[in-house]
Each structure stands twice: as C-alpha cells, then as structure tokens.
C-alpha cells in the first residue's frame, strides 16, 4: 500500500541522515508506504517536531484503509494524552472505537484517559465494556493498573451544554378548561392550563478536587441549569453548591456531601434547600456495578410555608456492559417529602430502565420510567387523597460525527404522562431537546 502525502510530506525537512534513510526506502518524493509514513511520524516525534508528526498522522487518519486509519488515530490519541490534552485523546480514541468497537486495548486506553480527567464513572464504564469481550492475558493485566489509576482524579473540570427545547407543556399543567370539584364546575384560567413554548436550555457543572491522601479527595461542586423563554413566563433557573470527601478504590467509590441550593420559577424564588447527600458505587465482577444514592434535604418555600419540610430520597441502579457496544441499566427509587399540610406530604416509589448502543460515530439511547405517588391526607377541595402514576419514555442520540471544536450535538425526545386523582396535577407533555455539549 502506498499513501499520497504530497502536500504534507515532511521527510525532506528532517535532518539529513533521516531524510537519506527515508529516501532510500521511497522511490518518489510524493508517496510513502504505510510503514514509511509511520516511521516518518516517529522520526518527527524523536526530533521534537510533534506538530508536524500530528499533521502527517491526521492525514493518515482519513485514509480509505481502515487499519491505517485506526493506527493513525491510536497514535494521535497517545500523542494528545502525552501532551496533557486528555479531551483531544478522548476524541481520537473514540473515533477509532466508533469503527472498531471490539478493540479492547484501545478501550482500555480510553478508560485510562478518563481516569486522568477524573471521570471515574466514564472510566469504569469503558473498563466494563472492554471486559465484556474475552481479553488476552496482557490486556487483562492492564485492567488492574487502570482500575488503580481511578483512585487518582483530575483536580478540576467543567461541563457545559446549551440548546433549544420545544415543549408542549412548559408549566406541567392540565390541558382541561374545567374541572369538577364535588359537583361544582371550576373554570381554569389561561395561566393554569398547559402552555407550549420553545425555550433556551443551559447547563453547567464545575468541580475541583483537593487531594487529602492517595485515595481520598475533598470534592467541591457547583452546578446550575436554566430554561428561559422569550416571554419570561415560566423561566426555570436553579443552582446547587456541594462539598464533601470523596473516597476511591479500584472497585469502589463513596462520596458524602453537604449541599445548598436555590430555584427560581416564573421570575420568583420558588425553593431554598439545604441538606446531605451520599453517592456510592461498587463493582461486581468485570462488567457490572451497583450505584446508589441517598439524601436528606430540608426544603423551604418562600410565601408558602405549608409546603415546608424535610425530603428524603434513595435510589439503586444496576449497570452492565452487555457487549462492548451495548450498555444497560435498571434501577429502583423511593422518596418521601414531608410538609406542614399533610395533603402535600407525599411518598413515591418507582423504577427505570435505560439502554444505550454505540453505532459508529453515533450513540443511540432510550429509557422508560415509572413512578407512583400518594399523599398523606385528602385535599379539602376535592375530598380525596392525591394519588398519581407518572410514565416517561425517552429516545435520543448523540452524534460525535458532527462534533465541532469539541461540541457534540445531541437530540432527545421525551414523552411523559401523569395521571392524578387531583385534576390539577394531571398532564400530558411532549418535549424535544436539541443541545450542544462540551467538556473541559
């Protein structure tokens, strides 16, 4: 196989001895064999000309031959990782795996890079995917070394997303114009009925780690979400701060934290909260792990003291890499919200299932969830207790193929239905999210 590199042939710019050696192998100045091209890249790296080596390898990464593309992408990933550009390394390794998902050694390199970025969840997921196939002995040994690397994490990071969200029911309200309350027909005004709109959706999460020991960090996190509409009505903005120790081992992760948060809705302060959260993960075998959360949070509603009280929640998920391309999750959850008015005090239980599959440079995903909720006491107006059944279906895709400067586009469709014995709480909602996501 011979590769045309007329526009980027750099061998003639190497030291004389290197250029002579290459000239002895290549019959022309505009074509190199695969072996010669990679040898040239190696010589450029040895000479300290990393940018030139990357330019040559990027050209080879677009070659019609898949083995040649894969080798070039692998080398580019290692160069980016060695330079400390771990996001760049992720992009090259992921591009390789999009075409060759069974390349376990590459998936392990991707896991190693995620570990250096401090993204333990992503690193563990890639390890499980790699181990979903039979590993050679030398590759299996790397798993142990990478698992150990998960104990150390990146000192800081930032995730950003922005997009638009057309929604048939931005205020999660009933679509009925009238409701019946003990034989009396009540007319719902326009603000109390389902309203559609297209909002600007934004999200950010930043974190910083302060190492305490080789396996313990102090983790600070700040996150925020915003959904705003041209009219300013039903804008939904919230933010949370959290801090606490983070314990890591090769197979486990444990993170208790204190947190505070605030939420604004429709231009008014809706909620203040403060409390405690707990997250944990434990690996089961090579391809499966259990992830759990628990929290206890006091919620204060300015102007609506009858809603105030403690809230408690817990969840447990079983995550499994079924194949290197296919990932699945099944989970259960429960929550309890106290309130001064027992009609607003509720208990809920639910479950969810989620699956994702890599398809080339796309990831397809889908999920279903269900939640049943019941209140402590009856609503005086309706003389019945609130009981609800909430169902949700999600389908979507993320497209690395169309990534621009690290911005990855995604699309998600969510269809939700809530049936309630209290008519105000019954609603139908269809929502589309088109977003761009970037990690730093």
Task: Please name the residues in contact with 415: beta carbons below 8 A apart, sequence gap of 6 or more.
Answer: 392, 393, 394, 429, 430, 431
Q: Is 246 exposed, middle or buried (0-12, 13-18, 19+ CB in 10 A)?
A: buried
Same domain (yes/no): 139, 166 = no
Q: Is the dihedral of CA 20, 24, 25, 26 positive or negative?
A: positive
Same domain (yes/no): 71, 215 = no
Whole-angstrom distance, CA of residue 203 vs CA of residue 211: 27
Domain that holds residue 429: 156-439
Which candidate, 125, 123, 128, 110, places its Cα nearest to that of 150?
123
DSSP 340-357: SSGGG-EEEEEEEEEEEE
Same domain (yes/no): 39, 171 = no
Whole-angstrom distance, CA of residue 50 vs CA of residue 56: 10
Whole-angstrom distance, CA of residue 7 vs CA of residue 4: 8
Whole-angstrom distance, CA of residue 74 vs CA of residue 297: 46
Same domain (yes/no): 71, 138 = yes
pLDDT at 16 over 60: no
Q: What is the pLDDT of residues 151-184, one digit of tens each?
A: 445 677 788 999 999 999 998 888 777 777 776 7
Same domain (yes/no): 25, 85 = yes
Same domain (yes/no): 356, 305 = yes
Residue 13 DSSP label: G
- For the chain, count helices (H), then strands (E): 8, 18
Of the listed ranges 32-36, 72-76, 90-94, 197-201, the one predicted with least confidence: 32-36
Same domain (yes/no): 227, 254 = yes
DSSP 120-176: HHHHHHHHHHHHTS---HHHHHHHHHHHHHTTS--SEEEEEEEEEEEES-TT-----
Q: Is the pTM of this model over 0.85?
A: no
- More confident: 57 or 313: 313
Give the pLDDT score at 13: 44
With the CA atoms of 404, 406, 409 and 412 taken in that order, what torsion angle do they form, in degrees rounded to the nearest 10? Answer: 180
Last residue of a domain, one of 149, 182, 213: 149
Last residue of a domain, one of 149, 164, 188: 149
Whole-angstrom distance, CA of residue 402 vs CA of residue 406: 10
The total of structural domains in the chain comes to 2
The pairing of beta strand 427-439 with beta strand 156-167:
antiparallel
Q: Is 230 exposed, middle or buried (0-12, 13-18, 19+ CB in 10 A)?
A: exposed
Last residue of a domain, one of 108, 129, 149: 149
Same domain (yes/no): 103, 165 = no
Mean pLDDT across the chain: 83
Q: Is 106 exposed, middle or buried (0-12, 13-18, 19+ CB in 10 A)?
A: buried
Q: What is the pLDDT of residues 47-106, one digit of tens each?
A: 888 888 888 888 888 888 888 888 888 889 989 888 888 888 888 888 888 888 877 778
pLDDT at 138 over 70: no
Whole-angstrom distance, CA of residue 251 vs CA of residue 126: 14
Most confident stretch, 147-156, 176-185, 421-430:
421-430
Question: 245 is written with which tokens?
Answer: 């120790």
Sequence length of the chain is 440
Q: What phi, psi does 58 have (nearest 5°)? A: -65, -35
Task: Please name the residues in contact with 318: beta carbons below 8 A apart, sequence gap of 6 or more.
Answer: 288, 289, 290, 329, 330, 331
Most confident stretch, 25-39, 330-344, 398-412:
330-344
Same domain (yes/no): 145, 228 = no
CB-CB contact of 97 with 104 (8 Å): no
With the CA atoms of 68, 71, 75 and 76 taken in that order, what torsion angle do they form, in degrees rounded to the nearest 10? Answer: 50
The average pLDDT across 24-51 equals 68
CATH code for the domain in which residue 186 is found: 2.40.160.40
CATH code for the domain in which residue 62 is found: 1.25.40.10
Q: What is the pLDDT of residues 302-311, one digit of tens each?
A: 999 999 999 9
Q: Is 320 exposed, middle or buried (0-12, 13-18, 19+ CB in 10 A)?
A: middle
Same domain (yes/no): 174, 235 = yes
Whole-angstrom distance, CA of residue 134 vs CA of residue 42: 31
């Amino acid at each position: 196989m011979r590769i045309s590199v007329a526009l980027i042939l750099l061998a003639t710019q190497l030291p004389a001895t290197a250029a002579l050696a290459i000239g002895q192998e290549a019959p022309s100045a505009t074509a190199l064999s695969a072996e010669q091209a990679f040898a040239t890249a190696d010589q450029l790296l040895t000479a300290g000309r990393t940018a030139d080596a990357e330019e040559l390898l990027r050209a080879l990464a677009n070659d019609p031959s898949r083995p040649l593309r894969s080798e070039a992408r692998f080398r580019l990933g290692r160069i980016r990782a060695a330079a400390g550009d771990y996001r760049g390394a992720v992009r090259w390794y992921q591009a390789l795996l999009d075409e060759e998902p069974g390349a376990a050694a590459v998936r392990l390199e991707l896991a190693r890079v995620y570990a250096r970025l401090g993204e333990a969840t992503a690193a563990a997921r890639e390890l499980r995917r790699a181990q979903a196939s039979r590993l050679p002995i030398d590759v299996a040994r790397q798993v142990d070394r990478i698992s150990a690397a998960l104990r150390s994490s990146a000192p800081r990071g930032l995730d950003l997303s922005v997009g638009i969200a057309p929604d048939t029911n931005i205020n999660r309200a009933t679509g009925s114009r009238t409701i019946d309350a003990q034989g009396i027909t009540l007319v719902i005004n326009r603000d109390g009925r389902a309203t559609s709109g297209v909002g600007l959706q934004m999200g950010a999460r930043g974190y910083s780690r302060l190492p305490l020991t080789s396996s313990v960090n102090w983790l600070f996190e700040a996150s925020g979400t915003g959904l705003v509409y041209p009219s300013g009505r039903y804008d939904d903005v919230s933010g949370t701060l959290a801090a606490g120790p983070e314990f890591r081992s090769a197979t486990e992760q444990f993170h208790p934290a204190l947190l505070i948060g605030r939420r604004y809705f429709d231009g008014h302060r809706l909620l203040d909260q403060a409390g405690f959260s707990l997250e944990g993960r434990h690996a089961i075998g090579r391809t499966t792990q259990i992830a759990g959360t628990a929290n206890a949070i006091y919620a204060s509603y300015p102007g609506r003291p009858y809603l105030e009280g403690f809230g408690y929640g817990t969840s447990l998920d079983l995550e499994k890499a079924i194949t290197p391309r296919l990932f699945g999750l099944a989970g259960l959850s429960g929550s309890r919200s106290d309130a001064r008015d027992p009609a607003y005090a509720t208990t809920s239980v639910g479950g969810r299932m989620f699956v994702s599959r890599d398809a080339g440079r796309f990831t397809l995903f889908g999920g279903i969830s269900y939640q049943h909720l019941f209140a402590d006491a009856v609503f005086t107006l309706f003389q019945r207790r609130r009981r609800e059944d909430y169902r949700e279906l999600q389908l979507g895709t993320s497209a690395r193929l169309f990534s621009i400067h690290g911005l990855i586009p995604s699309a998600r469709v969510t269809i939700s239905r809530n049936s309630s014995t209290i008519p105000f709480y019954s609603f139908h909602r269809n929502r589309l999210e088109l977003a761009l996501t970037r990690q730093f």
